[in-house]
Copies of this chain bind each other. A is one copy, B any other.
Amino acid sequence: MDYYQESLKLHEEKRGKIEIKSKVPVQTKDDLSLAYTPGVAEPCRAIHKNPSDIYKYTNKGNMVAVVSDGSAVLGLGNIGGAAGMPVMEGKAILFKEFADVDAFPICLSTQDTEEIIATVKAIAPTFGGINLEDISAPRCFEIEERLIKELDIPVFHDDQHGTAIVVLAGLINALKLTNRKFEDIRVVLSGVGAAGVAVTKLLIEYGVNPDHVLLSDSKGAIYKGRDNLNAVKESLADITNTACQLGLDHPDCRIGGLAEIMVGADVFIGVSKAGLVTPEMVKSMAKDPIIFAMANPEPEIMPDLAKEAGAAIVATGRSDFPNQINNVLGFPGIFRGVLDAGIRIIDSKIKITAAEAIANYIQNPTSEAIIPSPLDKGVAKAVADAIKNL
């Protein structure tokens, strides 16, 4: 099937993918008097008296805003909020279909950090949670941090944490299968944007030794004092590749390109660009290496090439290969869980709980099935239940 042309047809035929439905009847005079005036005055008065009653009498507690400025949409780059609308509508229906969370696309006409923060704060009364989507780094870090601080509802940047959670889930099973422990592995991570930063932080949170994490951007290995580091990369250079702080000629300091730093690594995680990894680089890694090549739509290395070069386990972002790292395994159940449990901050405990629930959902993981299928709607329930049982 030509997904692109068929998708275009589907979108035109249906004129987009979401609609608003009434949960109450509006046929009789009584219907109108209960759903609207005069009856509706009473829930208004109740909320005015007791603001938390908004969760009792409106849909707020089940409504998530999918907010995007369209600055980093799929692999399409900065196409703007309006052009990102089909993705945000798509995200909204995944929320509904996978976890019965109502979600609504908010496509922004601004890409200014302060304006985005002010806008989300201004519209927040309608929503029980905020899912930030496809906002480019490094603005996404400040926007998320500020909104978490300044709002009283959960805020979650899916490109960061959704990806990190599903990567961690896959890695839990991949390490199990190759008899490794998180505290022992050496990890190379290529691409230090929204996803890369969050994956790094969550892996360290989960027990990976930060000294054994090597990050690489388009300029090569990241280390303290390197040129072209933004504030976020600088803070990561403080805790990773730390031997370089003792001198660039220290034997444990790793500098140079991706090929140099991949030598001896157990795990490669790519959230970067097509074709960056060669079979030779895979061969230079430790025995039975694990490759998560998640660049979209073309991975850093194709699975067959990686396997031929000795990879024990390969995951990608694609639906046409085994082990698809797909955020839909995370966000619907995470929001279902935090909305139901009234959790305001999605902290690392919740992220780890979600990752473990996804990993444990597979009873007998194999190298071709370290992670559930994105179509398996039982995953969201398992994730939500795990969060609610915290």
Within 8 A of B (CB), among A259-292: none
Q: State the CA gap A327–B123 with chains docked (Å).
A: 25
Q: Give the CA-CA distance A19 to B63 in the complex, in Å.
A: 8
Contact residues in B for A61 (Cβ distance below 8 Å)? 15
Given known contacts A3-B34, A119-B122, is B82 in contact with A45 (CB within 8 Å)?
no
- Interface pair A54/B85, CB less than 8 Å apart: yes
A92 at the interface (CB under 8 A from B): yes
A32 to B90, CA, bound (A): 9
Among listed A108-116, A176-184, A219-227, A240-248, interface-contacting one: A108-116
User: Please, which residues of chain B bring their CB within 8 A of the CB of A83?
Assistant: 44-45, 47-48, 51, 54
**Nearest 9 CB-CB pairings of A with B:** A7-B39, A16-B59, A22-B93, A3-B39, A48-B83, A16-B58, A4-B42, A11-B57, A82-B125
Q: Does A107 contact B (CB under 8 A)?
A: yes
Q: Are A41 and B118 in contact (CB under 8 A)?
A: no
Q: Which residues of B contact A89 (CB under 8 A)?
A: 58-59
Q: From residue 19 to 71 of chain A, which have CB atoms closer than 8 A to chain B?
A: 19-24, 26-30, 32-48, 51, 54, 56-63
Residues of A within 8 A of B (CB): 1, 3-8, 10-12, 14-24, 26-30, 32-48, 51, 54, 56-63, 73-76, 79-87, 89-94, 96-98, 102-110, 115-116, 118-119, 121-126, 296-297, 319, 328, 374-375
Is B18 a contact of A23 with CB atoms below 8 Å? yes
Q: Count copies of this chain in the complex.
A: 2
In the complex, what distance in Å separates the CA atom of A96 from the CA atom of B22? 8
10 further A-B pairs in the complex, CB-CB below 8 A; given A3-B38, A82-B125: A11-B43, A12-B57, A15-B57, A19-B20, A19-B21, A38-B296, A44-B85, A47-B85, A108-B123, A119-B122
Whether the pair A26, B86 counts as a contact (CB closer than 8 A) is no
Contact B106 A43 (CB under 8 A): no
Given contacts A7-B40, A40-B7, contact A23 B34 (CB under 8 A): no
A56 CA to B22 CA in the complex, in Å? 24
